[in-house]
Amino acid sequence: MESTTQHSKSSLSNKKVIVLGGSSGIGLATAKAAAVEGAEVIIISSNQSRIDAALSQLPANSKGIAADLTNEQQIKSLFADLGKFDHLVFTAGESLNLSKIADVSLADAKRFFDVRYWGAFTAVKYASPNINEGGSITLSGGTASRRPQSGWSLGASICTAMEGFTRAMAIELAPIRVNLVCPGVVKTNLWSNMPEADRESFYTSFADSLPVKFVAEADDLAESYLYLMRQRYSTGEVIVVDGGSVLV
């Protein structure tokens, strides 16, 4: 009887899940996976055409809203309109900026934080009062903070900042659970700034270096976000999903 009760409490059936950055990549994969489990999904993105394309892959009760995640007033209004919900997932972010520090302007560096860090910060600020009992926030980081390479100054900085922010929010917003997924290399539009031939060569060589011998797809990462939504006893945790890249 106890296991049945626990299962019902951790199920995503009839839960409302909001995915910021849900129109593509890991966010869309997570939205799809949550919808399969019976959740009502709302995806948020700055690009209406990508939202429309994503909604064509989601159940009819799914919704999509265009919003600028760097605009505090838009985020505030967004969550005021959305009202109560159960789980917030933040996967938004632009393509990676892989440049050596000598080649990065301070203005560009600050802009790189606008969505990935400040967007998450602002979303948590205005979303958290609306989260139902038993709900959660799952943010996104990366393994760059643990094993950076040359040219990863911005990526490593943001990933480190997200880990600290997650732990702080797990304490401040308790009993809302706040956790972080740290992907390694994943085949998403995050790498779209690279020429296609270079990107495929990178995937191949990176896969060869991994213990698991393949580079993940977005669907592989979605499982981790679902786990953290369901897992009622984890908060302030950083889940590394990287194929073993930090080990080699």
Residue 246 forms part of a structural domain: no
Residue 234 forms part of a structural domain: yes
CATH of the domain at 37: 3.40.50.720
Would you give the DSSP letter of residue 190? Answer: G
Q: What is the pLDDT of residue 10?
A: 62
What is the extent of the structural domain holding 139? 2-241
- For 22-79, the DSSP string reads TTSHHHHHHHHHHHHTT-EEEEEES-HHHHHHHHTTS-TT-EEEE--TT-HHHHHHHH
Q: What is the pLDDT of residue 3?
A: 44
What's the pLDDT tens digit per position in 22-49? 999 999 999 999 999 999 999 999 999 9
What's the pLDDT tens digit per position in 128-150? 999 999 999 999 999 988 888 88
Please name the residues in contact with 109: beta carbons below 8 A apart, sequence gap of 6 or more: 153, 154
Contact 22, 30 (CB under 8 A): yes
Closest to 118 (Cα-Cα) out of 68, 64, 184:
68
Closest to 88 (Cα-Cα) out of 42, 19, 172:
19
Residue 70 forms part of a structural domain: yes
Helix boundaries (H) for 151-195: 153-172
Closest to 119 (Cα-Cα) out of 58, 51, 72, 172:
72
> Measured in Å, how far apart are the chain's first and last C-alpha atoms?
44
pTM above 0.75, yes or no: yes
Would you give the DSSP letter of residue 206? Answer: H
Share of the chain above pLDDT 70, in %: 96
Residue 169 forms part of a structural domain: yes
Give CA angle at 167 (7, 126), nearest 5°. 80
What's the pLDDT tens digit per position in 95-124? 777 789 999 999 988 998 999 999 999 999
Residue 202, pLDDT > 90, answer no
Residue 5, pLDDT > 50, answer no
Residue 90 forms part of a structural domain: yes
pLDDT band for 4, please (50, 70, 90 cuts).
Answer: very low
Say how far apart CA 32 and CA 109 lie, in whole Å.
32
Mean pLDDT of the chain: 92
Q: What is the pLDDT of residue 119?
A: 97
Q: How many domains does the chain have?
A: 1
pLDDT band for 152, please (50, 70, 90 cuts).
Answer: confident
Mean pLDDT of the 51-64 span: 97
Residue 248 forms part of a structural domain: no
Closest to 185 (Cα-Cα) out of 165, 163, 164, 205:
205
Residue 247 forms part of a structural domain: no
H helix or E strand, kind and range, residue 135: strand 131-140
Strands of the sheet containing 131-140, edge to edge, are 63-66, 40-45, 16-20, 85-90, 131-140, 177-183, 238-241
pLDDT band for 9, please (50, 70, 90 cuts).
Answer: low
3-state SS class at 19: strand
What's the pLDDT tens digit per position in 222-247? 999 999 999 999 999 999 999 999 99
Instruction: Copy the structure tokens of residue 63.
Output: 């919704």
Residue 92, pLDDT > 70, answer yes
Residue 1, pLDDT > 60, answer no
Mean pLDDT of the 65-73 span: 97
